[in-house]
Amino acid sequence: MSNVLIGFNPKGFADDAVEILKKAKHKVTVMPASHNIDQKDLIKAAKGKDAVLTLLSNRIDDAFFKAVGPQLKIVANYAVGFDNIDLEAAKKHKVIVTNTPSDVVNESVAEHTFALMIALAHRVAEAHIFTTHGEYKGWTPDLFLGNNLKGRTLGLIGAGRIGGAVAERAYKGFGMNVIYSDLNKNADIEKNAKAKHLPMDKVLAQADIVSIHVPLFPSTRHLISTREFSLMKKGSLLINTARGPIVDEKALCRALKTKRIAGAGIDVFECEPAIDCDLTDNLELRAMPNAVLTPHIASATYEARADMAIIAAKNIVAVLAGKKAISPAK
């Protein structure tokens, strides 16, 4: 029997994960808090544990590994991303790190990407505020004019699993043209969505809507900044459901404020959980009328959350049994 810590309150959607771990004869401890767990409390609870299931908001670094102890075999991150974990430190301490990629998660994020896209194209958020604040006095033909998605060009920055799901929906569901930039060509989306592989600068210059689907690495931090916004079409839209720091927030705010781009749908933020990194520069993202903001909920469906927990649990069971991880972070 091994000791496993689930570093958050599952609130029901992780019941299957707890059952999987207990069925494998492991002792399971569940922390009472659901998020924003203090680092000291997490380390205290994790000491002596053989496996820890962590949240994206948990910082897992060299100090964590030293404090928890040499018996720790796996950190199963409850997220597709793993930028909160120091992989080099994990390797040094011989701890396996896993994440939770899943077709169910891909579907949820792809759907949310389109929710933001449609909300921007049809100016849903602006119209909602206008209506609920009593401004609607009668129909006119020019009220909140937007744009159709059909026939528009979607440019993907990153064409992995989620980018592929977005591409297929764009082409088959909305009749959009798809172009993409990625280190590698993706034969599946070229076949299923008739997508064309181009350098990133050309994707930015040709796309009516740019959607980001790359992981956060040092090389992708501020991948989209002032120069990149200057390449985008005037009147284009930006969607980010990947990671906040991929987009330079100040550059984004300037692009929105000056109408360099028409709008942005943002689910992740550079200084998350803060919506604005700097409240002294008069470039508050949350005040931009042409931005639709959601609080990091692209994968927030019951189906996705349950699947993520199950994948994390199966990774823990496999590693503690001396087998290969199902989805190692790499």
Q: Exposed, middle or buried: residue 91 (CB in 10 Å: 0-12, 13-18, 19+)? A: exposed
Q: For the chain, what is the largest distance between any 2 Cα atoms, rounded to a whole number of angstroms?
A: 69
**Sheet with strand 237-240: strands edge to edge:** 196-197, 177-181, 153-157, 209-212, 237-240, 263-266, 291-293
Asked if 99 contacts 82 with a C-beta cutoff of 8 angstroms, the reply is: yes
Strand (E) or helix (H) holding 191: helix 187-192
Give residue for tokens 């992708």.
220
**Which residue from 252, 298, 302 is spatially nearest to 111, judged by alpha carbons?**
298
CA distance 62 to 72: 13
**Which residue from 269, 268, 291 is spatially nearest to 278, judged by alpha carbons?**
269
Question: Helical H runs in the chain?
Answer: 15-23, 39-46, 62-68, 87-92, 103-121, 124-132, 161-168, 174, 187-192, 200-206, 226-231, 249-257, 302-320
Three-state SS at 265:
strand
CA distance 309 to 330: 19
Task: Indicate which residues carry an active-site annotation.
Answer: 243, 272, 296
DSSP, res 152: P
